A and B are shown apart, each in its own frame.
Chain A
Amino acid sequence: MTEPALLSVENVSVDLPTPRGNLRAVDQVDLKIGAGQTLGVVGESGCGKTMLSRAVLQLLPKKAKLSGRVMFDGQDLVRLDPERLRKLRGRSLAVVFQDPMTSLNPVLTIGTQLIETLQEHLELDGVVARRRSVELLAAVGIPAPEQRLVQYPHQLSGGMRQRVAIAIALSCEPKFLIADEPTTALDVTIQAQILDLLAREQRRRHMAMILITHDLGVVAGRTDEVAVMYAGRVVERAPTPVLFKKMHMPYTEALLAAIPKIDAAPHTPLPAISGRPPDPTRPIQGCSFSPRCRYAAGRCYREKPLLAASESPDHHYACFHPIQVTADFCA
């Protein structure tokens, strides 16, 4: 990335105490995102992708312990006082969650929630805030925006609710948006609409974005760079076209291969990944993926591979036995 980073996550770890012992949800993660860039964070449930986004937003559960730095626009969010942090969130740093029902207040109208956000952060007066709200709802593709202002979240469909959540997130012209599985709860035709909307607004506002998803398909067409997470760590990171053309990490390869392809013949057996992700309260010695990896050998079971640059400086991976040539393995 040539531009100076807008957000940089530096050696961030998140530990959560559980009755079964310490759970390391995020393990020494480093990431950088420049202005206007989109980073896709991909992984399966429990890989730490949501905890990572919460660490960036400083919205971790109370008992969680965070180490490392989260530098945003020259300030370390981890050490920022709560009042300034609150001003920053919503204003410069916005978020869209998977389930809009949990981020929207069910007892307030759409209008109240939008207008409140605008008044709080931009100190607009009521009339102006109301006009902006209508514009924002129209911009995110909501028909009859005037009428929507007086409606409650439950009166809208899932897709419309997510549009409202996006309108609120965009309302203060943030520099940075975290979209955490924004389309997972939506149908496929609505998913495409919402992803288009996010991409369009992002381009228009030159906004940086982290797109968190479990779907490599979503990441492929919509991000500049991808970080693949497994068991709390980033195991591979590369510009999107590079990653898909030349992945080095066996987990990335296995994850892509396990997706049913629309152009594959019916009844083609899928190359499934055997076993399941490790229990995060029982850390594995060596590479966390080694018990499921078909390339694993001696060293993989003893030592943890570190994320290191490959022959191209933008491409990082954490593997002792990287896949070298993967021209058309999934064809």
Chain B
Amino acid sequence: MMVTQQSSSGDPLLKVESLVVEYAVGGKTVHAVSGVSLQVARGETLGLVGESGCGKSTLGRAVLQLRRAVSGRVVFDGQDLSAMQGDALRRMRRRMQLIFQDPIASLNPRRRIGDIIAEPLVISGVKDPKRRQELVGEVLGAVGLDPSLVAGRLPHEFSGGQSQRICIARALVLNPEFIICDEPVSALDVSIRAQILNLLEDMKARFGLTLLFIAHDLAVVKAVSDRVAVMYLGRLCEVGPSEQLFSNPAHPYTALLIDAIPVPDPEVRPAESVPVGEPPSPIAPPSGCRFRTRCPRADQRCIDEVPELRPVAPDQYAACHHPLIAAG
């Protein structure tokens, strides 16, 4: 794709270039990510939204090289991760961490919290147990847990919200620059969700982090993101500054997502016009624009021609032949 989605000056921390990820399921190919390009500037939070199966988690894993891409590049701090192997890759991975949706499932039930958080330190060669304990204490304190009460206990003694705090502490212990948060609050109740979102914002400021925040909930994504990328069936539909993208969506899919959010206000009538239909299978995605089968604006051109990401407003890009706003 030809555009550079530059939001601030200087080199972006992360550059994803024409990334393609596919995998085989029962002799068929799942087109999970089909040519996605994006950039994340240092200190920025990029939100990545889309419905289940759109490839957003696969994209996150491919960035960390947990799943290798078929083609395309992932450049982190100027270095091409896709070309790296073994120790070189492991050294880079220390600078990048991942937080998952299900905090309870991502903690080993038989290990004590202190050991779980110290494990990355052990692997990265911090040999002095005292030093490790010190660092574990620091991150536990940072996420709002008392190390003297928590470090010796087992995961089952903690609620979902507390477990997510522990996962965040583990992600922070190596002092990374970049964290991918993959649906970090979807499994949490409303009252706990707000605590964790606030904590992520605090940690970002305190540790100078850059975040890729993956979620299906647009309001949650907007609450933490500087820019938002909308994904549908393996491709990016739209990228832009959060505020702008939500007030002036250019891609019909972005507009559909925004309309579908239930608003906690009885005076706002739910949109009646949500079109029936579901995302097609990523095994056989539609030709041309992948959203065309559900799009009210689709015509012959959308069947024949894959839309490229094009600028529609300053810093805002949409991959649509018939955007809701046109470049002025």
Q: List the interface of chain A (C-beta within 8 A of B).
A: 44-45, 141, 157, 159-160, 187-193, 195-196, 214-222, 240-241, 244, 254-256, 258-274, 276-277
Partner of B274, one of A196, A266, A270: A196
**Min distance, Cβ B193 to any Cβ of chain A, angstroms:** 7
B195 at the A/B interface (Cβ < 8 Å)?
A: yes
On whether the beta carbons of B270 and A195 are closer than 8 Å, the reply is yes
Selected A-B contacts with CB under 8 Å, 10 pairs = A141-B276, A192-B270, A220-B262, A258-B194, A260-B217, A260-B219, A263-B246, A266-B242, A270-B194, A270-B197
B204, closest chain A residue (CB):
A267
A264 touches B223 (CB 8 A): yes
Question: Is A221 a contact of B266 with CB atoms below 8 Å?
Answer: yes
Shortest Cβ distance from A242 into B: residue: B266
Q: Which residues of A contact B242 (CB under 8 A)?
A: 266
A266 pairs with B224, CB closer than 8 A: yes
B190 touches A192 (CB 8 A): no
- Neighbouring B residues of A217 by C-beta, 8 Å: 261-264
With beta carbons under 8 angstroms apart, the residue of A187, A196, A240, A260 that contacts B223 is A260
| A237–B19 CA distance with the chains assembled, in angstroms | 52
Contact of A216 among B52, B226, B264 (CB under 8 A): B264
Interface with A: B91-99, B252-260, B316-324, which one? B252-260
Check if B274 sits within 8 Å of A260, measured CB to CB.
Answer: no
Q: Is the CB of B191 within 8 A of A258?
A: yes
Residue from B219, B220, B268 with most neighbouring chain A CB atoms (10 Å): B219
**In the complex, are the beta carbons of B278 and A266 less than 8 A apart?**
no
Q: Could you tell me the distance between the alpha carbons of A192 and B271 in the complex, rounded to whole angstroms?
A: 8
Q: Name which residue of chain B comes closest to A197, CB basis.
A: B276
Chain B residues, CB < 8 A from A261: 219, 264
Residues of chain A with a CB closer than 8 A to B194's CB: 258-260, 270-273
Taking a contact as CB atoms closer than 8 A, the residue among A44, A241, A271, A273 that contacts B266 in the complex is A241
Known: A44-B191, A260-B197, A272-B195. A220 touches B264 (CB 8 A): yes
Contact of A262 with B278 in the complex, beta carbons under 8 Å: no
Q: Is B108 an interface residue (CB 8 A)?
A: no
Task: Produce 1/0 per residue, B159-190, CB < 8 A to A.
Answer: 10100000000000000000000000000011
Which range contains the number of B residues in contact with the other chain? 35 or more
Q: How far is the CA of A193 from the CA of B260 in the complex (A)?
A: 9
Q: Chain A contacts of B276 at CB under 8 A?
A: 141, 193
Write the nearest CB–CB distance from A242 to chain B, whole angstroms. Answer: 9
A157 to B267, CA, bound (A): 32
User: Does B292 make an interface contact (CB < 8 A)?
Assistant: no
Q: In the complex the two chains form, is A188's CB within 8 Å of B257's CB?
A: yes
Chain B 220-236 interface residues, beta-carbon cutoff 8 Å to A: 220, 222-226
The smallest beta-carbon distance between B189 and chain A, in angstroms, is 4
Q: Is B106 an interface residue (CB 8 A)?
A: no
What residue of chain A has the Cβ atom nearest to residue B202's Cβ? A269
A276 with B260: CB separation less than 8 A: no
Residues of chain B with a CB closer than 8 A to A266's CB: 222-226, 242-243
Chain B residues lying within 8 Å of A241, measured Cβ to Cβ, are 266-267
> Chain B residue with minimal CB distance to A258?
B194
Residues of A within 8 A of B119 (CB): none
When chains A and B are docked, how far (Å) is the Cα of A214 from the Cα of B192? 12
Q: Once the chains are docked, how many angstroms separate the CA of A112 from the CA of B256?
A: 35
Tell whether B216 is near chain A: CB-to-CB under 8 Å. Answer: yes
Q: Is the CB of B264 within 8 A of A244?
A: yes
In the complex, A276 Cα to B162 Cα: how many Å?
10
Q: Could you give, for residues 236-256 of chain B, a 1 whenever the CB lies within 8 Å of some chain A CB and a 0 otherwise?
A: 000000110010000000001
Q: A268 contacts which of B223, B226, B246, B259 (Cβ < 8 Å)? A: B223
Of the candidates A218, A259, A271, A277, the one whose C-beta lies within 8 Å of that of B219 is A259
Query: Is the beta-carbon distance between B189 and A44 smaller than 8 angstroms?
Result: yes
Chain B residues with Cβ below 8 Å from A141 are 276
Closest 8 CB pairs between A and B? A217-B262, A272-B194, A273-B191, A270-B194, A187-B51, A260-B223, A258-B194, A44-B189
Which of B220, B243, B270 has the most C-beta atoms of chain A within 10 angstroms of its own C-beta?
B270
Task: Please indicate the chain A residues that have their CB under 8 angstroms from the CB of B262 in the complex.
Answer: 191-192, 195, 215, 217-218, 220-221
Q: Which residue from chain B places its CB closest to the CB of A254 in the assembled complex? A: B191
- Whether B304 sits at the interface, judged by CB under 8 Å, is no
CB nearest neighbor in A for B271: A192
**Besides the known contacts A188-B216, A260-B222, 5 further A-B residue pairs in the complex with CB atoms under 8 A apart:** A215-B190, A220-B268, A222-B270, A266-B226, A267-B226
Q: Which residue of B lies closest to A200 (CB)?
A: B272
Question: Chain B residues near A262 (CB, 8 Å)?
Answer: 218-219, 222, 246, 258, 261, 263
When chains A and B are docked, how far (Å) is the Cα of A223 from the Cα of B5?
Answer: 43
Q: Which residues of B contact A274 (CB under 8 A)?
A: 195
B206 in the interface (beta carbon within 8 A): no
**Counting CB contacts under 8 A, is B265 at the interface?**
yes
CB distance from A72 to the nearest CB of B (A): 27
Provide the residues of chain B in CB contact with A190, threshold 8 Å: 51, 278
Asked whether, in the complex, the Cβ of B274 is within 8 Å of the Cβ of A192, the reply is: yes
CB neighbours of B102 from chain A (8 A): none
Whether B260 contacts A191 by the Cβ 8 Å rule is yes
In the bound assembly, the distance between CA atoms of A261 and B258 in angstroms comes to 12
Residue of A nearest to B160 (CB): A45
